[in-house]
């Protein structure tokens, strides 16, 4: 099973084998559904919306769980559940990041701030101890979720400057050893998570800006979806492209997810289609 969210303010559950929709659309948000994620055990879904709220849904029935989570003052761009299943992180146009307790549905501490522009993307490390965020201010920042403060000194500073265009997407490898970012300068960058040093520009002549990045469960490859509707497969160790142009969509690709066994992945696009 997989889940999709849409600008029509709904979520849909889908059968991964047949590609058929399961049940009726999940309704409750009053704005576009910009991001969603399954819990590690598949029992729950969290969604983030342009209506500034997060919602919980039952992973099997699609029924809403509890009341909306309120804490942001502007639309939510990204929501991620920690690998240990205990926390959620959300990123918003209000220039803040918030942590949430999955069991109680309450905010943890104060918002993580320090940005002066929209935060577009967030990702948890494999051990759930830190997050990385990317913003319209052209930077990536690592955070310790226990203290709520920025950590490390990537490239000699608390942030990694990404040339002259803002960060669109970011992803940690499953083992936490590396992370990849993609920006509006039409490039991908691979980083060593231990040293926070840039390994290299994976590709600097990308045909269009990368919209989304997703690692395979074993971390051996990652997939990117771009603004020109193209999917590409990459070797995560070498940073070389395996398959440069997987076609199937006609509009920008907004989301990606692998099956647990890594044998397939699904992509969602602004052309209103999903491809498996």
pLDDT tens digits along 53-81:
999 999 999 999 999 999 999 999 999 99
pLDDT band with cut points at 50, 70 and 90 for residue 166: low
- Cα(117)–Cα(45) distance, rounded to whole angstroms? 28
pLDDT band with cut points at 50, 70 and 90 for residue 158: very low
Burial of 149 (0-12, 13-18, 19+ CB in 10 A): exposed
Interior/surface letters 190-202, b for 16+ CB within 10 angstroms, e for the rest: bbebeebeeeeeb
CA terminus-to-terminus distance, the chain:
12
Would you say how long the chain is, in residues?
276
Higher pLDDT, 230 or 59: 59
249 closest CA partner among 233, 273, 265, 213: 273
Task: List, in order of start, the domains of the chain with CATH numbers.
Answer: 114-275 (2.130.10.10)
Quote the Cα angle for 4-212-165, to 5°.
Answer: 140
Tell me if residue 80 falls in helix, strand or coil: strand
- How many C-beta neighbours within 10 Å does residue 19 have? 12
Higher pLDDT, 30 or 272: 30
Tokens of 28: 């409750």
Question: Residue 159: pLDDT above 70?
Answer: no
Tell me the range of 59-73, 169-183, 224-238, 261-275 where mean pLDDT is highest. 59-73
Q: What is the pLDDT of residue 203?
A: 58
Q: What is the pLDDT of residue 163?
A: 46
pLDDT band with cut points at 50, 70 and 90 for residue 154: very low
Q: What is the pLDDT of residue 255?
A: 84
Tell me if residue 160 falls in helix, strand or coil: strand
Kindly state the DSSP code that residue 112 receives in the 8-state scheme. E
Q: What is the pLDDT of residue 208?
A: 64
The CA R_g of the chain, rounded to the nearest whole Å, is: 17
Stated pTM of the model: 0.79
Indicate left, alpha or beta for 207 from its phi (over 0: left) and psi (-120 to 50: alpha): alpha
Write out pLDDT tens, residues 172-225.
Answer: 899 988 888 887 777 788 887 777 666 665 555 456 677 788 899 999 999 988
Q: What is the pLDDT of residue 183?
A: 75
- Cα(23)–Cα(28) distance, rounded to whole angstroms? 15
Question: Residue 33: pLDDT above 90?
Answer: yes
Kindly state the DSSP code that residue 152 receives in the 8-state scheme. S
- Mean pLDDT of all residues in 256-265: 88
257 closest CA partner among 8, 14, 26: 14
- How many C-beta neighbours within 10 Å does residue 253 have? 26
Q: How far is CA 28 from CA 25, 33, 54, 92, 155, in A?
A: 10, 10, 10, 19, 43
Q: How far is CA 7 from CA 32, 182, 184, in A?
A: 4, 23, 22
């Amino acid at each position: 099973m997989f889940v999709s969210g849409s600008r029509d303010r709904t979520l849909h559950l889908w059968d991964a084998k047949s590609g058929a929709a399961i049940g009726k659309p999940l309704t409750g948000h009053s704005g576009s559904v910009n991001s969603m994620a399954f819990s590690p055990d598949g029992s729950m879904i969290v969604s983030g919306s342009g209506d500034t709220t997060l919602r919980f849904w039952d992973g099997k029935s699609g029924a809403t769980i509890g009341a909306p989570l309120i804490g942001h003052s502007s639309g939510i761009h990204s929501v991620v559940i920690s690998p240990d299943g205990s926390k959620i992180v959300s990123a918003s146009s209000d220039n803040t990041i918030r942590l949430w307790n999955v069991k109680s549905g309450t905010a943890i501490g104060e918002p993580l701030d320090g940005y002066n522009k929209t935060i577009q993307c967030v990702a948890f490390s494999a051990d759930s101890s830190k997050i990385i965020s990317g913003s319209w201010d052209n930077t990536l920042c690592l955070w310790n979720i226990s203290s709520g403060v920025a950590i490390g000194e990537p490239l000699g500073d608390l942030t990694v400057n990404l040339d002259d265009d803002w960060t669109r997407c970011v992803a940690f490898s499953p083992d936490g050893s590396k992370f990849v970012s993609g920006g509006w300068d039409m490039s991908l960058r691979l980083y060593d998570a231990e040293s926070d040093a840039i390994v290299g520009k994976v590709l600097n002549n990308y045909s269009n800006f990368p919209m989304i990045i997703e690692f395979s469960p074993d971390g051996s490859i990652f997939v990117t979806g771009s603004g020109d509707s193209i999917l590409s497969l990459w070797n995560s160790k070498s940073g070389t492209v395996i398959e440069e142009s997987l076609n199937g969509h006609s509009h920008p690709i907004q989301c990606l997810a692998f099956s647990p066994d890594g044998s397939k992945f699904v992509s969602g696009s602004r052309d209103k289609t999903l491809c498996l």
